[in-house]
Chains A and B, each alone.
Chain A
Amino acid sequence: MSIAGPSTKPAIDQSEVRFLIEKNADGIIVVDESGVVLFANPASETIFGRPIGSLIGSPIGIPFVVDDMTEISVHQPGARVIDAEIRTVETTWDGRPARLASIRDISSRRATEERLRHAAKMEAVGRLTAGIAHDFNNLLTVVLGNLESAMRVTAGADSRIANALENAARGARQAAQLTAKLLSFARQKPLEARLVDLKELISSLSDLLQRTLGETIVVRTTVAEDLWPVEVDPTELESAILNLAVNARDAMPEGGSIAIEVTNIDRKLADETREDEGRLGPHVLIAVTDSGCGMTPDVLSRVFEPFFTTKPDGRGTGLGLSQVYGFVRQSGGHITLSSKPNGGTRIEILLPKAAAQSDALPPPQASKQDSPFVLHSREGETILVVEDNEDVRAFTSNSLREFGYVVIEASDAHSALKILERGARVDLLFTDLGLPGQLTGKDLAECARAHRPGLKVLITTGYAGDVLIREGRLEAGTRLLSKPFSSAELGGRVRELLNQGNAPTRRVLVVEDEFLLSLLLTDMLSERGFVTEAATSFEEAVLKARSTHHELAAAVVDLGLPDRPGDGLVEELRALRSDLPIVLTTGYADDEIRQRFAPAARLEILTKPFDVDQLIAALERMEVHS
């Protein structure tokens, strides 16, 4: 920049000011005393959406700015409105007083601020909602549980009592549905995510939609080939799409069409001018578009709020879209809604492509509604119930005892762990997620599993806070029962989990002090599909057996152990599990040992050296198959 002026004050070269104005990103205009535009720079064309030629001479008005700047809206042709900041200085133009004004487009900054504000509001409403719903679920568990007990006690008595109880229970169940919806808005509802084939889900859903929405609505479904898998809770996804479809129908009282499109979409940074980095990368897009009455911007800004509804006289709860919003966000996805009055509505759900390897839950084998006849326990099955709310614990324990289970109760994680450490028989841990003290139900489950790998765990919760569910998902191997639950649901879920264990566990305890031999044995067994637990001494073997004896399929025990003889271990193991198949290995083909154990059932003696086939054959003779 040339700071010229031969003698007196320095000044900026006029031509450089001109250059700066031409190149400026802000619109710069000069307005005369009557508000008519005299000059406009190139950036003004973009901001006003008009060529410079038509801007010059138009009567924009005199910009009056107090302090630094004033906000205005710029109206472009085609009803597009831009938020702008305007700054002015007084100047002269052709010797007459005029105003020089700079105009900056702040629409995108505005939009970002608005989104942040909206997100913060939704978050606050969500927390409030979740808190209330959680407390309600505890209360509803008690109400429903006691109503069920009352129904059982009064079965066959006065039908008026039975009716009253049934009505009360129905009311409580409806209340439970309401709290479930609130929680799904608050993103606190535990999701059972698994890999979902969207093609199948959407096409079966579109049949249902066509039938339920009626003849005046045409449902068109377009599903792209080779859709990427997504990991979501399929039930929630179905209900989300159903929700959108019902909204669409209500927006089209005279009939119309709903288009559901599902495609892969992979947004790269370059396509994206906004800061929504979460939307970048591979996603599956589910778009639901209707030809209905659309929404005004005011309505649009509030549609995700719980209890906001435009439907008359209780036709809507105001929770539908809130639920969809919560579900999508919790599933790691995004939802956007665009609509214009009389221009229809389009809702886009973006779900992230699932990683190839997923530890999502496998689909449940049994149907959720088991018949009541199969809810009962098998001999001695023991459940550790951990719940701090006494009423809920009492209801839970009583229900389980009615099904014939042995129930051990604990009110916090600490005492539950003590019970587990004592080595008591526990077939299933049933714990509340929120427990007093340092450990949550999820921590408890992890500690318990460290002691007893493969322990069945059923977690219950009024909501799933952020502790249970990282990103809203259940850890693999944990099952979940949402509060409130009925005693039948509890029994069904417990039975389902315990039944899954009836597939023979193939865990084998290998007790061998020779390091290399132990390595060989565990390798041999692993190759054949067994899971191994290795112990190198009598003591260690007893400890391991105590914590895992429920899952043990067999034990391979060396006779010569460093601390105590292996034959004593056979007795120890049999004391824990009288039917445990045991392979006794010995370097000495000791006749005395053979004779001693010959009559013992489910015991095989292998003389070293032996090979893998002999070991497997010995196991198979005792019906232990890999």
Chain B
Amino acid sequence: MAAPLVLRLYIAGNSASSRRAQQNLERLRASVSSKGWDVEIIDVLTRPDLADRAGIIATPTLSYEDGPRSRRIVGDLSDTKRILEFMGIEGDHA
């Protein structure tokens, strides 16, 4: 992978689902070689402007920006396998 992958996780403060999503994303990064990943966590409550610009209407939302393509998923990211598939990273995790 040449250009770094930009992942943006939009969360809402300290809510349970926000915390779970962050933990799951951390686990995901640890389980795969995530050298080329750039993760940005955006709290919708403190940066409503950024959320607005990106058209975020629900959290947690993981947005995956790969060049011109932008895709996003909603949920607490607990389904690791499908998330990796979604990002096009096939099972080099254990």
Contact = CB atoms under 8 A, between A and B. Distances in A.
B83 A61 contact: no
A151 interface: no
Interface string B8-48: 00001111111000000000000000000000000011001
B12 A62 contact: no
Contact of A35 (B13, B73, B76): B73
B92 interface: no
Contacts of B51: 75
Interface in A48-89: 48, 50, 58-66, 70-75, 79, 81, 83-84, 86
B65 to A, nearest CB: 12
A62 B61 CA distance: 9
A34 interface: yes
Interface residues of B, number: 33
Contact of B74 (A72, A81, A298): A72
Contacts of B86: 62, 64
Which residue of B51, B63, B75, B79 has the most chain A CB atoms within 10 A of its CB atom? B75
B93 interface: no
Given A48-B57, A66-B79, A61 B72 contact: yes
Contacts of B13: 297
Contacts of A64: 73-75, 77, 79, 82-83, 86
Contacts of B63: 61
Contact of A75 (B17, B58, B79): B58
B42 to A, nearest CB: 12
Nearest to A49: B57
Contacts of A59: 55, 70, 72
Nearest to A48: B57
Contacts of A81: 12, 45
A301 to B, nearest CB: 11
Given A72-B74, A75-B51, A81-B12, A61 B61 contact: yes
B76 A70 contact: yes
B78 A35 contact: no
A72 B73 contact: no
B70 to A, nearest CB: 8
Which residue of B16, B51, B63, B72 has the most chain A CB atoms within 10 A of its CB atom? B72
A61 B9 CA distance: 12
Interface string A364-397: 0000000000000000000000000000000000
Nearest to B63: A61
Given A62-B86, A64-B83, A72 B59 contact: yes
A73 B74 contact: no
Given A62-B86, A64-B79, A72 B17 contact: yes
A103 B60 CA distance: 14
Contacts of A74: 57-58
Contacts of B56: 75
A36 to B, nearest CB: 10
Contacts of A50: 57
A75 B76 contact: no
B48 A60 contact: no
Given A72-B17, A81-B12, A60 B75 contact: no
18 contacts: A50-B57, A58-B57, A60-B74, A61-B73, A62-B86, A63-B73, A72-B58, A72-B76, A73-B59, A73-B60, A74-B57, A74-B58, A75-B44, A75-B51, A79-B45, A83-B15, A86-B74, A86-B75
Given A61-B62, A75-B57, 16 more contacts: A35-B74, A48-B57, A59-B55, A59-B70, A61-B61, A61-B73, A62-B72, A62-B73, A63-B74, A64-B86, A65-B75, A70-B78, A72-B60, A72-B75, A81-B12, A83-B15
